Amino acid sequence: MMIRWHGHACFEIKNNLRIVIDPHDGRSIGLKPPKVTADLVLVTHNHFDHNAVRVVNGKFKTITGPGKYSTGDIKINGIEAYHDEYHGAKRGKIAMYKIIMDGISLLHAGDLGHILNSSQLKEIGDVDILFMPVGGVYTVDARGAYENVKLINPKIAVPMHYYVPGLSLRLNPVDSFLRYFSKDEIAYVGNSIEFSKEDLESQARVWVFTL
């Protein structure tokens, strides 16, 4: 499996099919637009920095909300959550996507804005790789992100949706989240990483991607 970060909350996940999650158009948030082709595009919620499906190339299927889906041997569960700590009253609802492919379970938490409750955690179940927003302002902050990581207890946590140079959104930097982990638990993996399920047992607990 290969995972590549395209900035903000946009990730590309590839095995025999290519999944793109939360594409942005780059221009509207101060980053380069993703140059990517997909078979499947997942949109966690309908905000401009997450729903720029038009920038993705290819003949792809789009998934935009909670529910159970499958494509080939890939299974996806869209799990309802909230963009804020007031059950969506401020910013609405989102869908977190749990993806199972190549025997690996991944959860993209979208713009999660609250600590997960017991029913959501039960539906999430076991997770190998967790993509969690950490930048605060529009989502959980570093402390809230860390609390959710502890609750889900994935093998690997991937921070996303934080400030990087050029970003026009005033989010907090990733260092605020990383301070909850020791240096030995953190690996800087570059823009992309290839791995198998067996590799996950010997990896660092946190993967930090770079653009």
Report pLDDT digits (tens) over 88-137.
889 999 999 999 999 999 999 999 999 999 999 999 999 999 999 999 99
What's the DSSP call for residue 89?
T
Residues in Cβ contact with 101 at an 8 Å cutoff, skipping those fewer than 6 apart: 1, 13, 15, 17, 19, 73, 74, 75
The domain spans of the chain are 2-209
**CATH fold for domain 2-209:** Metallo-beta-lactamase; Chain A (3.60.15)
Rounded Cα–Cα distance for residues 42 and 211 (Å): 21
pTM summary value: 0.97
Which whole number is the average pLDDT over 61-66? 97
